[in-house]
Amino acid sequence: MTTLNEVARCAGVTPATVSNVLRNRGRVGAATRERVLAAIKQLGYRPHLAARALAEGRAPTFALMVSSIANPFYPEFTLAAERAARTSGHFLIVCNTNDDRDTGLAYLEQIAGTLSEGVLVTNAEVVLDVLHATAARGTPVVLCMWERPDEPPDLPCVAVDFHQAGVLAAQHLLELGHRQVGALVASKGRAQDKWPRGIHGPRRDGFVDTFKAAGLGASVIEVTCDSDTIRGGYDAAYPLLQAHPELTALFGTNDLPALGAMHAAADLGWSVPDDLSVIGITDIQLARDSRPALSTVAVPTEEAARMAVDLLRSLIEAARRDPSALGAQPAVKVTSPPRLMARASTAPPRGSTQAAI
């Protein structure tokens, strides 16, 4: 591997001059700069990022912790976050916790503040109790896609109004004429969690509360998905539809369980949307590519990713100027509202006189 000293000898300059060229610092004449750049190209020199991080006391990377890279939402979020990070000259390290608290803790202990200058965290409830300690050690932490704008955590976060997303899904089904509906609630919480309904509680509440406001709360039959996946939705929807053939629509607190519900309906011989309407929340690419295309409530994924990276970058810059800034009142940024995306998987109930949307 070519070293910085070898580049300096080839260009006939000092190692400090090569370093200044690489970092675009100091006064380096145009001819000298061209000579250094030519030597870098000739020798195929690549900066050693770990060594640079050690020398400068900061890493040119951000860490992004996700709960499961197998969930199609996270690659979409990661792509947007990676683009935003690169605009500031940072690389993005993706840390897949696989919904395991110990794995998340290991990432925080080994990467935060060493390989990464700051940490972005999605679905943080599995490690929320240790994120405060990470921030206290001087590594900025930003929670992404926080689901409760009205209940912000004691950490900087970018929040999405998922309660409103549930409201929009319910309003759509009510406007189509659906009165007997099922709700597939993913990500069940544990008894010791602060929010025992799990991270999808606000979505569920927005949906159910809207039916209650219409005087139809008792007509919503809720079941819990064992996993926030297509399989989880299938396993929850199949027995639900068998036991309650009167249902005309199903709501999934996420697109994946909703897609699983469509598969279950097909295996039972039900037609979507003629026999059963299905709607989800998120608007992942798979929702648009399914047949029929899944109606869903889109959340601003790309916007949230950009906002999270910008917030993390601002925290890092503020901490460089004043280390005590990390202890200031945590910033809470709220994205633009969710939007209904009515597609082919929803229609008025069979026999209804209401025109389809």
Q: What pLDDT is attached to residue 65?
A: 92
C-alpha distances in Å from residue 301, one per residue of 1, 74, 304, 308, 349: 40, 10, 5, 11, 31
DSSP state of 290: S
Residue 50 has a pLDDT of 53
Rounded to whole angstroms, the Cα distance separating 66 from 305 reads 12
Stretches where the chain sits below pLDDT 70 are: 23-25, 47-59, 113, 124-128, 187-198, 323-329, 353-357
Q: How far apart are CA 43 and CA 35, in angstroms?
A: 12
Alpha carbons 144 and 128: distance in angstroms, whole number: 12
Sole residue written with tokens 């998905």: 225
Contact assessment for residue 247 and residue 253, using Cβ atoms and an 8 Å cutoff:
no
Q: What is the pLDDT of residue 265?
A: 98
Alpha carbons 320 and 316: distance in angstroms, whole number: 6
3-state secondary structure of 159: strand
Q: State both tokens at 10.
A: 């080839």
Residue 193 DSSP class: S
Q: Return the CATH fold of 4-47.
A: 434 Repressor (Amino-terminal Domain) (1.10.260)
Q: Is 156 exposed, middle or buried (0-12, 13-18, 19+ CB in 10 A)?
A: buried
Q: What is the pLDDT of residue 328?
A: 67
In angstroms, what CA-CA distances link 294 with 160, 196, 281, 344?
A: 21, 29, 10, 6
DSSP string of 225-274, one letter each residue: -SSSSHHHHHHHHHHHHHH-TT--EEEESSHHHHHHHHHHHHHTT--TTT
Domain boundaries, the chain: 4-47, 56-160+302-337, 162-299
User: Contact at 8 Å (CB) between 218 and 61?
Assistant: no
Q: Copy the structure tokens of residue 315.
A: 């925290």
Same fold, 4-47 and 56-160+302-337: no
Distance CA 44, CA 279 (A): 53
Give this prediction's pTM. 0.82
| Residue range 162-217, pLDDT digits in tens | 999 999 999 999 999 999 999 999 864 443 344 444 678 999 999 999 999 999 98
**CA 121/CA 264 separation, integer angstroms:** 33
Domain 56-160+302-337 has CATH 3.10.180.10: no
**How confident is the model at residue 48, as a pLDDT?**
59
Domain at 162-299, CATH class: alpha beta
pLDDT tens per residue, range 132-157: 888 878 889 999 999 989 888 889 99
pLDDT value of residue 350: 86
pLDDT of residue 58: 57
